[in-house]
Amino acid sequence: MFSFSGTPPTNLGVKEGKLLECPNTPNCVNSQTPASDSEHSIQPISYSSTPEQALANLKAVIQDLPRAKIVSESDDYVYSEFATALMGFVDDVEFYLDKSQSVIHVRSASRLGKSDLGVNRKRVEEIRAKFAALEA
């Protein structure tokens, strides 16, 4: 098996209520990106439960996905890594729980390469669907 995991970024996290902006490559989505940037923009994940339950539901979804690992977490933030099956490419996926808006902001970005063939966007939408099922 190959492993193209790359070096974990050191600049992730929430700074002044914002996740890191996406680079100029098409292998990243971010719910805090303006809608006018359709390549990188994605909707945040809405929740209707308590913030604590929303975070618990989110972690349950992540832990149920293949090749996913929660790296760090706090009461309003989860950082996880997702690896591809064959080549071992790693994507860094962050979630920021914004209690004032009852949403979970998300940033999903590939560590290596330029194009991800839409994998980051598809993953976020899969997480959104599974999360919504738990919130129902």
Let me know if residue 10 belongs to a domain.
no
Say if 6 falls within a structural domain: no
In a domain, 15, yes or no: no
Q: In the structure, what pLDDT confidence band is assigned to residue 87 with cuts at 50, 70 and 90? A: confident
Does a structural domain hold residue 34? yes
- The rounded distance, in Å, linking the Cα atoms of 15 and 7 is 21
Which pLDDT value is given to residue 85? 80
128 domain-assigned: yes
56 token code pair: 């618990």
Predicted confidence (pLDDT) at residue 4 exceeds the cutoff of 70:
no
Judged against a pLDDT cut of 60, whether residue 93 lies above it is answered with: yes
Number of separate domains in the chain: 1
Give residue 86's pLDDT band: very low, low, confident or very high (50, 70, 90): confident
Residue ranges making up the domain that contains 104: 28-135
CATH number at residue 115: 3.30.310.80
Whether 76 is in a domain gets the answer yes
Alpha-carbon distance of 12 to 14, in angstroms, equals 7
Say if pTM beats, i.e. exceeds, 0.85: yes
Distance, CA of 80 to CA of 59 (rounded, Å)? 10
Q: Say if residue 36's pLDDT is above 90.
A: yes
